[in-house]
Amino acid sequence: MTRVIAGTNKRRNWKFRPLCVLMLYAPSAPLSAQRQELGLTLGRLFASDDSGAIGRIRLKSGAALQANYAIRIVQLDALALLGEVHLLASPLRELDTNLANLTRDFATLYVTPGLRVKFAPGSRISPYFAIGGGYALYEQSTMTTGGQPNTAPRHTHRGVIDFGGGIDVVLLHWLGLRLEERDFYSGKPSLNLRTPGSGLHNVVAGGGFVLRF
Protein backbone atom coordinates (compact mmCIF):
# COMPACT_ATOMS: atom_id res chain seq x y z
CA MET A 1 0.00 0.00 0.00
CA THR A 2 2.82 2.36 0.85
CA ARG A 3 4.51 1.75 -2.51
CA VAL A 4 1.31 2.44 -4.43
CA ILE A 5 0.77 5.75 -2.66
CA ALA A 6 4.37 6.78 -3.20
CA GLY A 7 4.13 5.93 -6.88
CA THR A 8 0.87 7.87 -7.18
CA ASN A 9 2.43 10.92 -5.54
CA LYS A 10 5.34 10.78 -7.97
CA ARG A 11 2.99 10.69 -10.93
CA ARG A 12 0.94 13.59 -9.54
CA ASN A 13 4.08 15.71 -9.00
CA TRP A 14 5.22 14.98 -12.56
CA LYS A 15 1.95 16.37 -13.92
CA PHE A 16 2.64 19.77 -12.35
CA ARG A 17 6.25 20.05 -13.53
CA PRO A 18 5.49 21.63 -16.96
CA LEU A 19 3.34 24.28 -15.27
CA CYS A 20 6.09 25.09 -12.78
CA VAL A 21 8.66 25.38 -15.56
CA LEU A 22 6.35 27.71 -17.51
CA MET A 23 5.80 29.93 -14.47
CA LEU A 24 9.54 30.18 -13.90
CA TYR A 25 10.26 30.91 -17.56
CA ALA A 26 7.58 33.57 -18.17
CA PRO A 27 9.14 36.39 -16.08
CA SER A 28 12.45 35.92 -17.90
CA ALA A 29 10.96 35.97 -21.41
CA PRO A 30 13.26 37.95 -23.74
CA LEU A 31 12.31 41.56 -24.39
CA SER A 32 12.87 40.95 -28.10
CA ALA A 33 9.66 38.87 -28.16
CA GLN A 34 7.57 41.92 -27.25
CA ARG A 35 6.84 43.98 -30.36
CA GLN A 36 4.43 46.61 -29.00
CA GLU A 37 4.61 49.34 -26.35
CA LEU A 38 2.08 51.60 -24.66
CA GLY A 39 3.57 54.51 -22.75
CA LEU A 40 1.54 56.65 -20.31
CA THR A 41 3.33 59.72 -18.96
CA LEU A 42 2.54 62.89 -17.06
CA GLY A 43 4.56 66.00 -17.87
CA ARG A 44 4.75 69.76 -17.67
CA LEU A 45 4.83 72.25 -20.53
CA PHE A 46 7.52 74.81 -19.79
CA ALA A 47 6.62 78.49 -19.68
CA SER A 48 7.64 80.41 -22.81
CA ASP A 49 7.81 84.02 -23.95
CA ASP A 50 6.04 85.22 -27.12
CA SER A 51 6.28 88.97 -26.55
CA GLY A 52 6.14 91.50 -29.33
CA ALA A 53 6.81 95.22 -29.70
CA ILE A 54 3.35 96.12 -28.39
CA GLY A 55 3.44 94.34 -25.05
CA ARG A 56 4.42 91.39 -22.90
CA ILE A 57 3.01 87.94 -23.67
CA ARG A 58 4.20 85.02 -21.59
CA LEU A 59 2.65 81.58 -21.86
CA LYS A 60 2.53 80.01 -18.42
CA SER A 61 3.41 76.39 -17.82
CA GLY A 62 0.68 73.75 -17.98
CA ALA A 63 0.06 70.07 -17.30
CA ALA A 64 0.60 67.62 -20.16
CA LEU A 65 -1.12 64.22 -20.31
CA GLN A 66 0.62 61.96 -22.82
CA ALA A 67 0.04 58.56 -24.39
CA ASN A 68 2.35 56.82 -26.84
CA TYR A 69 1.73 53.66 -28.86
CA ALA A 70 4.69 52.09 -30.67
CA ILE A 71 5.37 48.93 -32.64
CA ARG A 72 8.81 47.54 -33.45
CA ILE A 73 9.69 47.58 -37.15
CA VAL A 74 13.32 46.45 -37.04
CA GLN A 75 15.49 45.21 -34.18
CA LEU A 76 19.25 44.64 -34.14
CA ASP A 77 21.60 44.05 -31.24
CA ALA A 78 22.65 47.70 -31.06
CA LEU A 79 19.36 49.45 -31.87
CA ALA A 80 15.70 49.08 -32.77
CA LEU A 81 13.45 51.13 -35.05
CA LEU A 82 9.85 51.66 -33.95
CA GLY A 83 6.87 53.38 -35.52
CA GLU A 84 4.89 55.42 -33.00
CA VAL A 85 1.86 57.64 -32.52
CA HIS A 86 2.20 60.22 -29.75
CA LEU A 87 -0.72 62.07 -28.18
CA LEU A 88 -0.41 65.09 -25.87
CA ALA A 89 -3.34 66.87 -24.19
CA SER A 90 -2.99 70.00 -22.07
CA PRO A 91 -6.33 71.17 -20.59
CA LEU A 92 -5.27 74.69 -19.61
CA ARG A 93 -2.47 77.12 -20.40
CA GLU A 94 -2.88 80.72 -19.28
CA LEU A 95 -1.37 83.96 -20.58
CA ASP A 96 0.59 86.37 -18.42
CA THR A 97 0.32 89.72 -20.20
CA ASN A 98 -0.10 93.46 -19.72
CA LEU A 99 -2.61 93.64 -22.58
CA ALA A 100 -6.36 93.49 -22.00
CA ASN A 101 -7.73 92.17 -25.31
CA LEU A 102 -5.91 88.87 -25.68
CA THR A 103 -7.16 85.32 -25.38
CA ARG A 104 -7.13 84.54 -21.66
CA ASP A 105 -6.18 80.85 -21.92
CA PHE A 106 -6.34 77.86 -24.25
CA ALA A 107 -6.30 74.06 -24.32
CA THR A 108 -3.96 72.02 -26.49
CA LEU A 109 -4.09 68.70 -28.34
CA TYR A 110 -1.20 67.26 -30.40
CA VAL A 111 -1.32 64.02 -32.41
CA THR A 112 2.04 63.19 -33.98
CA PRO A 113 2.87 59.93 -35.78
CA GLY A 114 6.61 59.36 -36.12
CA LEU A 115 9.65 57.15 -35.73
CA ARG A 116 11.73 56.24 -32.70
CA VAL A 117 15.27 54.85 -32.58
CA LYS A 118 16.02 52.93 -29.37
CA PHE A 119 19.59 52.08 -28.48
CA ALA A 120 20.56 48.84 -26.69
CA PRO A 121 16.95 47.55 -26.92
CA GLY A 122 17.76 44.30 -25.14
CA SER A 123 19.31 46.00 -22.12
CA ARG A 124 17.65 47.02 -18.88
CA ILE A 125 18.38 50.70 -19.64
CA SER A 126 17.66 51.93 -23.19
CA PRO A 127 17.98 55.55 -24.35
CA TYR A 128 16.03 56.64 -27.42
CA PHE A 129 15.45 59.49 -29.87
CA ALA A 130 12.10 60.25 -31.53
CA ILE A 131 10.85 62.53 -34.30
CA GLY A 132 7.42 62.98 -35.84
CA GLY A 133 4.80 65.40 -37.06
CA GLY A 134 1.07 65.78 -37.38
CA TYR A 135 -1.91 67.76 -36.14
CA ALA A 136 -2.27 70.49 -33.51
CA LEU A 137 -5.61 71.71 -32.13
CA TYR A 138 -5.97 74.79 -29.92
CA GLU A 139 -9.21 75.66 -28.16
CA GLN A 140 -9.30 79.33 -27.18
CA SER A 141 -11.16 80.65 -24.13
CA THR A 142 -14.46 82.47 -24.58
CA MET A 143 -13.18 85.46 -22.57
CA THR A 144 -10.22 87.81 -23.00
CA THR A 145 -7.65 88.82 -20.42
CA GLY A 146 -9.71 91.97 -19.84
CA GLY A 147 -12.89 90.01 -19.08
CA GLN A 148 -14.63 90.71 -22.39
CA PRO A 149 -16.05 88.19 -24.91
CA ASN A 150 -13.26 86.77 -27.01
CA THR A 151 -13.50 87.50 -30.76
CA ALA A 152 -10.90 84.83 -31.62
CA PRO A 153 -12.19 81.60 -33.19
CA ARG A 154 -13.09 78.91 -30.69
CA HIS A 155 -10.84 76.32 -32.40
CA THR A 156 -7.60 76.80 -34.31
CA HIS A 157 -6.05 74.03 -36.43
CA ARG A 158 -2.30 73.95 -37.02
CA GLY A 159 0.51 71.64 -38.05
CA VAL A 160 3.12 70.43 -35.57
CA ILE A 161 6.44 68.58 -35.56
CA ASP A 162 7.95 66.97 -32.48
CA PHE A 163 11.42 65.76 -31.59
CA GLY A 164 13.11 64.68 -28.40
CA GLY A 165 14.52 61.80 -26.45
CA GLY A 166 14.37 59.85 -23.27
CA ILE A 167 15.27 56.69 -21.45
CA ASP A 168 13.40 53.45 -20.71
CA VAL A 169 14.24 51.38 -17.63
CA VAL A 170 12.94 47.80 -17.41
CA LEU A 171 11.24 46.99 -14.10
CA LEU A 172 9.56 43.72 -15.13
CA HIS A 173 9.52 41.94 -18.49
CA TRP A 174 6.18 43.65 -19.28
CA LEU A 175 6.57 46.91 -17.32
CA GLY A 176 9.07 49.75 -17.54
CA LEU A 177 9.77 53.27 -16.32
CA ARG A 178 10.08 56.12 -18.83
CA LEU A 179 11.61 59.60 -18.54
CA GLU A 180 11.59 61.87 -21.58
CA GLU A 181 11.64 65.40 -22.97
CA ARG A 182 10.10 66.56 -26.25
CA ASP A 183 9.73 69.81 -28.14
CA PHE A 184 6.49 70.32 -30.10
CA TYR A 185 7.02 73.10 -32.64
CA SER A 186 3.64 74.18 -33.96
CA GLY A 187 1.68 77.02 -35.43
CA LYS A 188 0.43 79.48 -32.83
CA PRO A 189 -2.98 79.60 -31.14
CA SER A 190 -5.26 82.56 -31.86
CA LEU A 191 -4.28 85.21 -29.31
CA ASN A 192 -5.79 88.30 -31.00
CA LEU A 193 -2.33 89.71 -31.61
CA ARG A 194 0.31 89.05 -34.25
CA THR A 195 3.68 88.29 -32.68
CA PRO A 196 7.11 87.77 -34.30
CA GLY A 197 7.67 84.41 -35.95
CA SER A 198 5.25 81.89 -37.35
CA GLY A 199 5.82 79.06 -34.90
CA LEU A 200 5.89 78.29 -31.20
CA HIS A 201 8.15 75.91 -29.26
CA ASN A 202 6.28 73.84 -26.67
CA VAL A 203 8.82 71.96 -24.57
CA VAL A 204 7.47 69.27 -22.26
CA ALA A 205 9.31 67.03 -19.79
CA GLY A 206 7.74 64.17 -17.87
CA GLY A 207 7.77 60.58 -16.80
CA GLY A 208 5.57 57.55 -16.38
CA PHE A 209 5.25 53.86 -17.22
CA VAL A 210 5.53 51.66 -20.29
CA LEU A 211 3.55 48.47 -20.91
CA ARG A 212 5.14 45.93 -23.28
CA PHE A 213 3.24 43.16 -25.04
pLDDT of residue 198: 80
Residue 90 falls inside a structural domain: yes
What region does 197 belong to: left with phi over 0, alpha with psi -120 to 50, or beta?
A: left
Please state the domain count of the chain: 1
Record the pTM: 0.83
Question: Is 37 within the bounds of a domain?
Answer: yes
Q: Is residue 104 part of a domain?
A: yes
Q: Is residue 4 part of a domain?
A: no
Residue 15 lies in a domain: no
Query: CB-based burial of residue 11 (10 Å sphere; 0-12 exposed, 13-18 middle, 19+ buried)?
Result: exposed
Read off the CATH number of the domain in which 38 is found: 2.40.160.20
Per-residue pLDDT tens digits of the chain, which is 213 residues long: 444 444 444 444 444 454 444 344 444 445 556 899 999 999 999 999 887 667 788 999 999 999 999 999 999 999 999 999 999 999 999 999 989 999 999 999 999 999 999 999 999 999 999 999 999 999 999 999 999 999 999 999 999 999 999 999 999 999 999 999 999 999 999 999 887 778 999 999 999 999 999
* Cα-only R_g, the chain: 25
pLDDT given for residue 32 in this prediction: 56
Please tell me the predicted confidence (pLDDT) of residue 157: 98
| 56 domain residue, yes or no | yes
Q: Is residue 25 part of a domain?
A: no
Q: What range does the domain containing 147 cover?
A: 31-212
Does residue 155 form part of some domain? yes
